[in-house]
Amino acid sequence: MPRYTVYWQPGCTSCLKTKEFLRVHGIEFESVNVREAPGAMEALARVGARSVPVVTRGDEFVLGQDLEAVARFLGVAADRTRLDVPVLASRLIALLDCAADMTAQIPADALFARLPGRERTRLDLAYHVPQIAVAFLDAALGGRLTFEHFERTAPEHIHTAADAARLTRSVSQAFAVWWGANQSRLPGALDTYYGYQTLHGVLERTTWHVAQHVRQLERVLELLRVTPAPRLPAGLLEGLPLPKDVWDAEVPLQ
């Protein structure tokens, strides 16, 4: 039996990256989709974990949101060069704007189709993207980045592609305003559901989390054969620790 187990769910960017990280380092693991495996969340609760991704080794575990922590848990190197904070901030704004452009192009009759392996719809995905930045801003303003931020689905007043696109643009503008006012006096650490983390680390994760879902929005438009469709400039992805795949290969595309 593999020494490690990875608990994950479809559509989770950190889950996909965590499994990829173990495979790249040649580490065998049992893969447990908590959306399908009976008792999976109870097993996580027994070791003290409440969210995914989680890598376990017996009764020990590490949350997959922090790849450096995962590397230490596994005993492997995770040396890499991080983009500077100002670069990440500008990338995040540009990625949110791309997400808004793509969201606006999703046809009305395709908005409520479910994504692979999830109850989340395409509209929920479009709504989820700005919530990632909202979570960062909440923590940066003295609150807490919670797992619940990422579990939110589109409320009743967000029921069209245009609604979701407007929301994403407004969050992009809010982040730009915050960055403009605070870039010279940034907090050193932010409170998150996976512990206090450096602002640099949380901003990097926020940026590549958004980027991965923008890749998914781009793929949705491709699958729907929407033309002309906004494209994601390749330069926005350079230097971000993105997974290789857009969707999890363990979940069949619908």
Intrachain domains 4-74 and 85-236 with the same fold: no
CATH superfamily to which 4-74 belongs:
Glutaredoxin (3.40.30.10)
Share of the chain above pLDDT 90, in %: 80
What is the number of helices (H) and of strands (E) in the chain? 8, 6
pTM over 0.85: yes
Cβ neighbours of residue 249 closer than 8 Å, sequence gap 6 or more: none
Every domain of the chain and the residues it spans: 4-74, 85-236
**pLDDT (average), residues 12-29:** 93
Read off the pLDDT of residues 161-188 as tens digits, 9 standing for 90 and up: 999 999 999 999 999 999 999 999 999 9
pLDDT over 90 at 248, yes or no = no
Phi, psi values for residue 6, rounded to 5°:
-110, 120
In CATH terms, the fold of domain 85-236 is Four Helix Bundle (Hemerythrin (Met), subunit A) (1.20.120)
